[in-house]
Amino acid sequence: MISKIDWCFFYLHLQKLNLFMKINTAEFIISNSEVDKCPKDFLPEYAFIGRSNVGKSSLINMLTNHKNLAKTSGRPGKTQLINHFLINNNWFLVDLPGYGYAKVSKKTKSIFQQFITDYFETREQLVCAFVLIDIRHEAQNIDIEFMSYMGESEIPFCIIFTKADKISKVKVNSHIAAYKKQMFANNWSEMPHHFVTSATEMTGKMELLNYIDEVNQEVFKNSNHF
């Protein structure tokens, strides 16, 4: 296994070779609970969502090279608004509230679940969602159900498995296989594109940023809106 020091040198070498997207600027723009108040700019958006305590804030901070861009908390359900961050002045990273066991009232949970649904089903700028799943656990019904909703609603998404440094590679592969089996059992013809990540060890950063960069290039090339 590559040590953290070796990985840092490798990471810097790749940056010099321009082999993956560099995040030069990352700026918080707005938080709100109404899709109509989201930025009007026609820039591609990538929405990050997952169960509470999945490591979403740590992943966002790792991707953007900022320690505190997204707020991390030991308390599940901390994110309760649609948060827009402008990246490199040409795309938005959108941090959405988690689903699952967030410790909020039923009324509050109902409200932000509604604006999450509104965002996914009406936001024209959304080009891809990333559903975050804690790879330490075996396939969870709540994640399968949420991805089924995304599929049935024809919302393009990828899966990001988080916290891969916490378990062995054998278990990582086993848990991914379990998700694949569950999805096939729920009438999926194939498993969505997925990434294995670790915010601590920066695993998956290059692959994820490259994917976003490739999608952005296609979006800007083929769309009159962007």
Q: Token pair 């790879």 is at which residue?
A: 135
Q: What domain range is 214 assigned to?
A: 22-222
Give residue 6's pLDDT: 44
9 belongs to a structural domain = no
Q: Token pair 């194939």 is at which residue?
A: 190
**What is the residue-level pLDDT of the chain in tens, covering all 226 positions?**
434 444 344 344 444 434 568 899 999 999 998 899 999 999 999 999 998 889 999 999 999 998 888 865 444 444 678 999 999 999 999 999 887 645 555 555 565 578 888 999 999 999 999 999 999 998 988 899 999 999 999 999 999 999 999 999 999 999 999 999 999 998 999 999 999 999 999 999 999 999 999 999 999 988 766 6
Please give the structure tokens belonging to residue 205. 């950063």
Angle in degrees, 0-180, between the axes of helices 4-16 and 205-222, rounded to the nearest 10 = 30
Beta bridge partners of 99: 51
Beta bridge partners of 134: 162
Tally of structural domains, the chain = 1
Give residue 105's pLDDT: 54
Give residue 81's pLDDT: 87
The answer to whether 216 touches 125, Cβ cutoff 8 Å, is no
pTM strictly above 0.75: yes
Q: What is the CATH number of the domain that holds 26?
A: 3.40.50.300
3-class secondary-structure state, position 171: helix
DSSP calls for 178-203: HHHHHHHHTT-SSPPPEEE-BTTTTB
The most distant pair of C-alpha atoms in the chain lies apart, rounded to whole Å, by: 51
207 belongs to a structural domain = yes
7 belongs to a structural domain = no
Please give the structure tokens belonging to residue 142. 């709540």
3-class secondary-structure state, position 65: coil
pLDDT digits (tens, 9 = 90+) for 50-108: 988 899 999 999 999 988 888 654 444 446 789 999 999 999 999 998 876 455 555 55
147 belongs to a structural domain = yes
DSSP calls for 101-145: S-SS-HHHHHHHHHHHHHHHHH-TTEEEEEEEEETTS---HHHHH
* Gap between the Cα atoms of 125 and 5, Å rounded: 38
13 belongs to a structural domain = no
